[in-house]
A and B are shown apart, each in its own frame.
Chain A
């Protein structure tokens, strides 16, 4: 079978996902459009050679609805013969989109494809797409549905992470992100978002607070204690009778930020790269997705890591850098604990706690970020993974060429 190479990766800066965020005035379609155009323009792409654009969106309704990938293809003035497809694997949608694009290349359906995602959380709020899981009694009941934040607190409770542990992790994420920006480590992949006049609207992640300290975080009230006490902690105890009291440790400062953004990764076969004069940067070694226990929901990375390592025929020691979406601090602390990962190799340049998590777009951003860092440190392999709603995990191992 063919191999799938990564030729380029870009992302937008992440705008605060509120009405006063810089990207709030930019429609989701425009975010996706500018990402596609950047990939075209940086690589001098003849878009007629492109087969498909796969974009992850978690709230695919309204302006983000009805296959925004195809609409972005048209809006970006790509050759109209390029197809587009939108997919949703909750928070891993962006990585899943890259995996699907790579799979299309590997199996021979496509020579050249773009994977990535878009989410304007300020314009299409989280939860807009509804969904049966928490609302249809048949499934909510049997799967012990609890909201994600309570699940994150349950992970901290079950695996023994204190408020100090999660806050310390968050501070380190902020410090790393601040340093990375300071040293311009994202320069290769971040594109400025422009307005209709061509003026820059945003060229830097807007959500960061590098001055954060454990003391300043200590003042924040836990976000999920109230809903936990109201009803969900009891459901936790029914599902996990070993839990005496749920430790509610997460809050806005140690959870991923709500932001707007888009990402795109140019993926193709070896041959198309040669034909178009593109230089491959890395190849897909393995990809995997798994399901895990849905109530605790966010422990998927542990299990998908095992699966993707096995598929690659690798051990954890073969991985040079790790990138795990910082949905909540406890999610990362748990994977580190499960695999005894050196924290210096995990999320080297910070993550979503500092810079935000534009749901559908994040996976593509992580892939680009870790590839840039592999090149900066001149290392070879990286494992990228995200925890996923309803108890799943998606992962990709890439290797530099």
Chain B
């Protein structure tokens, strides 16, 4: 068989090792379907076969799930319009599910021997076996992550997992998509036995030899759902799961709702009926614009950008072995930590030895915490720290392949440290500036080698934020760009590439969200309404509370910098008016001094809207109706999409994936959209333009559509593959 390596032992136990041809990691391709069918037929009909053990033929795990590239090609983002097409799609999605049902009904005992990760369809395959043995290794992940990319487990996962372990334990795994270790899976009840590595196949065979029963509990008489059915379940499992899901998703994610429907409707009927329901909801879910956008951005684009490579001659590539970081503040220390973590030698430089040492001490503190929590070992932490040299001596820059400047956003200071470091730099070394908004071309003027100069915008906290925005200045060479991209991947971050402009991409687009918060406030919308709707769009925070988190004083200085930079071109906005009032007049700096739009009690209690705000803004819209809510929602999201569209039209970004991934990873743009440009596609460019025109008529030029987008709308074109757009009420 092409995808299973078969071996029949003397006891008549057939071992089928999944080894998918042409893939480094097993995924379930069409070929696997075909082989699985043959495999099941053999087990059923070959009298010499007494039982089956499923295991992996690859060392890196059992199976990572369905092949999403294959699946995505079939996904139009809309339910087919004809009954025949719907039935055809139902039949197509049920193929694996039907095979797995046939597997568990093959009449002979089937055991799985789990040597590594089993996710999605991979785990669903194992759930359809009668006995599961797993290697006791905390690095092994077992889970059903479909919900995270807008899908639902469509090969029996929503039916078998609850039938095995009950509603209360299965719903979080299905809804959150988190994976668990084999030990946790054993405790939950979907792994039967843990063994040490190398013993899994033998143990699985032993179960079969010992008379393991070749049927599932739910196919035996007297089966009862563990913990009770939805109307019997202790602790109102369904009610709490539904409420928790709404709290977590604000109703933006159809997959989670449909998973709940599969479970609720499926667990009280025979499993064959349940599997049919699951297939129905799978079709319904897979064809939502949200699933289309999420699979594309969160899975396909994310993988592509993680692996992207800028074309240069291989001889021009230079792996970063030594890195110098200028500025040992929070950002500098964070970059030092993630770099040392992957084995890079780091020199952390600041004004003095003592200042640099403070940065290293911060890393030490954080590592100590990680050791305490068991996230790393003392030895690993020590080795990491040993790779970091903290110093005030610029001569230590010598021999670095890359320098990252992470000092304050002050042009003079940046020019000064650039000159100091370059004095010791070799001709090939790359100089990266971790500025969040100062134009790179300008900063590069202070460099002796502007072609080696590039922007590398990291996000805080560096160890947790996966994005680095790479900014090419006017003179930045392809070689420098390629090396910067390689470095970002080496430290396991995802690079997006943008051209130079004020605020680049992320800072500029993200700011529109905050800006629209101020506009809504000025329009008389209650601040509570603004933040609640902001959160309900799927943004991590409402715009006003987010300003408090960022620091109103920082917002003010950013505006002052913009004014100084732009001169006559600077246009004062509602934000400027409000910041002058809050920061300059009232001394309200945000969460940091406990006073912003909200008051933050010193005891850490819930924040409360600052009562004094009422004196400065007159609330006209206190109890919004459905139409008001929809408009506010559109204003908050569309500003960000429009800015991304303008940046794309301006040529600051070449590839829509950079815009989408940058927004998802950089500032938590809601993942159901697939990103700001995906959102436009999801709504349809023509409809999006219509909506923006209406908003522009009511609220002004900030909703003006760039001509490129209008022209796209005229042609009914999209940022991504030209599928027929679906109008959704977003």
By a beta-carbon cutoff of 8 Å, the part of chain A in contact with chain B is 130, 134-138, 140-141, 144-146, 231-232, 234-235, 237-238, 240-245
Cα distance A237–B623 when bound, in Å? 12
Are the CB atoms of B532 and A243 closer together than 8 Å? yes
B564 within 8 A of A: no
User: When A and B form their complex, which 6 residue pairs have the shortest distance between CB atoms, in order from nearest?
Assistant: A137-B260, A241-B532, A244-B528, A234-B247, A130-B231, A231-B243
User: Count the A-B residue pairs with Cβ separation under 8 angstroms: how many?
Assistant: 79
Partner of B606, one of A134, A235, A245: A245
B533 within 8 A of A: yes
Q: Which residues of A contact B614 (CB under 8 A)?
A: none
Are the CB atoms of B251 and A238 closer together than 8 Å? yes
Cα distance A98–B242 when bound, in Å? 36
B38 within 8 A of A: no
Cα distance A240–B622 when bound, in Å? 10
CB distance from B723 to the nearest CB of A (A): 28
User: Which residues of B190-243 have CB atoms within 8 Å of chain A's CB atoms?
Assistant: 230-231, 236, 238-240, 242-243
Cα distance A140–B243 when bound, in Å? 8
User: Which residues of B510-557 have CB atoms within 8 Å of chain A's CB atoms?
Assistant: 526, 528-529, 532-533, 535-536
Cα distance A245–B605 when bound, in Å? 12
Q: Which residues of A contact B260 (CB under 8 A)?
A: 137, 141
Are the CB atoms of A140 and B529 closer together than 8 Å? no
B257 within 8 A of A: yes
B244 within 8 A of A: yes
B309 within 8 A of A: no
Q: Which residues of B contact A135 (CB under 8 A)?
A: 230-231, 236, 238-239, 242, 264
Are the CB atoms of B528 and A243 closer together than 8 Å? yes
Q: Is the interface of B mostly helix, strand, loop or mixed?
A: helix
Partner of B261, one of A137, A144, A146, A244: A137
B727 within 8 A of A: no
Closest chain A residue, CB of each to CB of B529: A241
Interface string of B622-642 (1 = CB under 8 A from A): 111000010000000000000
Q: Which residues of A contact B231 (CB under 8 A)?
A: 130, 135
Cα distance A140–B264 when bound, in Å? 12
Closest chain B residue, CB of each to CB of A235: B246
Are the CB atoms of A237 and B246 closer together than 8 Å? no
Partner of B257, one of A141, A231, A240: A141
CB distance from B252 to the nearest CB of A (A): 10
CB distance from B670 to the nearest CB of A (A): 14
Closest chain A residue, CB of each to CB of B247: A234
Are the CB atoms of B251 and A241 closer together than 8 Å? no
Are the CB atoms of A140 and B242 closer together than 8 Å? yes
Interface string of B87-110 (1 = CB under 8 A from A): 000000000000000000000000
For the A-B complex with A141-B242, A241-B536 known, give 18 more contacts whose Cβ atoms are closer than 8 Å. Answer: A135-B231, A137-B242, A138-B257, A140-B238, A141-B257, A141-B260, A145-B239, A232-B243, A235-B243, A237-B532, A237-B535, A238-B532, A241-B533, A242-B529, A242-B622, A242-B623, A243-B528, A244-B528
Q: Which residues of A contact B244 (CB under 8 A)?
A: 231
Are the CB atoms of B606 and A242 closer together than 8 Å? no
Closest chain B residue, CB of each to CB of A232: B243
Are the CB atoms of A242 and B608 closer together than 8 Å? no
Task: With a 10 A CB-CB cut-off, give which of A130, A146, A237 has the most chain B CB atoms.
Answer: A237
Q: Which residues of B contact A146 (CB under 8 A)?
A: 243
CB distance from B479 to the nearest CB of A (A): 50
Task: With a 10 A CB-CB cut-off, give which of B240, B244, B260, B532 has the most chain A CB atoms.
Answer: B532
Q: Which residues of B contact A240 (CB under 8 A)?
A: 623
Can you spell out 20 A-B residue pairs with CB atoms less than 8 angstroms apart? A134-B238, A134-B242, A137-B242, A137-B245, A137-B257, A138-B261, A140-B238, A140-B242, A141-B246, A141-B257, A231-B244, A237-B532, A238-B532, A238-B536, A241-B528, A241-B533, A241-B536, A243-B528, A244-B608, A245-B608
Q: Which residues of B contact A238 (CB under 8 A)?
A: 246, 250-251, 532, 536
Closest chain B residue, CB of each to CB of A130: B231
Cα distance A146–B230 when bound, in Å? 17
CB distance from B596 to the nearest CB of A (A): 15
Are the CB atoms of A134 and B624 closer together than 8 Å? no
Q: Which residues of B contact A145 (CB under 8 A)?
A: 239, 242-243
Closest chain A residue, CB of each to CB of B533: A241
Are the CB atoms of B238 and A137 closer together than 8 Å? yes
B609 within 8 A of A: yes
By a beta-carbon cutoff of 8 Å, the part of chain B in contact with chain A is 230-231, 236, 238-240, 242-247, 250-251, 257, 260-261, 264, 526, 528-529, 532-533, 535-536, 606, 608-609, 622-624, 629
Q: Which residues of B contact A234 (CB under 8 A)?
A: 246-247
Cα distance A243–B238 when bound, in Å? 26
CB distance from A64 to the nearest CB of B (A): 17
Q: Which residues of B contact A232 (CB under 8 A)?
A: 243
Are the CB atoms of A141 and B528 closer together than 8 Å? no
Cα distance A134–B250 when bound, in Å? 17
Q: Which residues of B contact A140 (CB under 8 A)?
A: 238-239, 242-243
CB distance from A389 to the nearest CB of B (A): 14
Q: Which residues of B contact A245 (CB under 8 A)?
A: 606, 608
Cα distance A243–B606 when bound, in Å? 14
Are the CB atoms of B526 and A242 closer together than 8 Å? yes
CB distance from B617 to the nearest CB of A (A): 15
Cα distance A141–B251 when bound, in Å? 8
Cα distance A146–B244 when bound, in Å? 11
Are the CB atoms of A231 and B247 closer together than 8 Å? yes
Q: Which residues of A contact B606 (CB under 8 A)?
A: 245
Cα distance A245–B528 when bound, in Å? 9
Closest chain B residue, CB of each to CB of A241: B532
Are the CB atoms of B629 and A241 closer together than 8 Å? yes
Q: Which residues of A contact B535 (CB under 8 A)?
A: 237
Cα distance A138–B261 when bound, in Å? 7
Are the CB atoms of A235 and B247 closer together than 8 Å? yes
CB distance from B396 to the nearest CB of A (A): 51
Are the CB atoms of A244 and B251 closer together than 8 Å? no
Cα distance A146–B264 when bound, in Å? 18
Q: Which residues of A contact B240 (CB under 8 A)?
A: 231
Q: Which residues of A contact B629 (CB under 8 A)?
A: 241
Q: Which residues of A contact B239 (CB under 8 A)?
A: 134-135, 140, 145
Partner of A242, one of B236, B238, B528: B528
Cα distance A224–B242 when bound, in Å? 18
CB distance from A126 to the nearest CB of B (A): 13
Closest chain A residue, CB of each to CB of B532: A241
Closest chain A residue, CB of each to CB of B609: A244
Task: With a 10 A CB-CB cut-off, give which of B231, B247, B622, B629 has the most chain A CB atoms.
Answer: B247
Cα distance A80–B157 when bound, in Å? 55
CB distance from A334 to the nearest CB of B (A): 15
Cα distance A78–B198 when bound, in Å? 78
Q: Which residues of A contact B242 (CB under 8 A)?
A: 134-135, 137, 140-141, 145
Task: With a 10 A CB-CB cut-off, give which of B246, B247, B609 has the most chain A CB atoms.
Answer: B246
Q: Which residues of A contact B622 (CB under 8 A)?
A: 242
CB distance from B545 to the nearest CB of A (A): 11
Cα distance A237–B250 when bound, in Å? 10
Closest chain A residue, CB of each to CB of B536: A238
Cα distance A136–B251 when bound, in Å? 15
Task: With a 10 A CB-CB cut-off, give which of B231, B238, B239, B535 has the most chain A CB atoms.
Answer: B239
Closest chain A residue, CB of each to CB of B530: A241
Q: Which residues of A contact B250 (CB under 8 A)?
A: 238
CB distance from A33 to the nearest CB of B (A): 30
Cα distance A136–B266 when bound, in Å? 12
CB distance from B282 to the nearest CB of A (A): 16
CB distance from A261 to the nearest CB of B (A): 27
CB distance from A47 to the nearest CB of B (A): 38
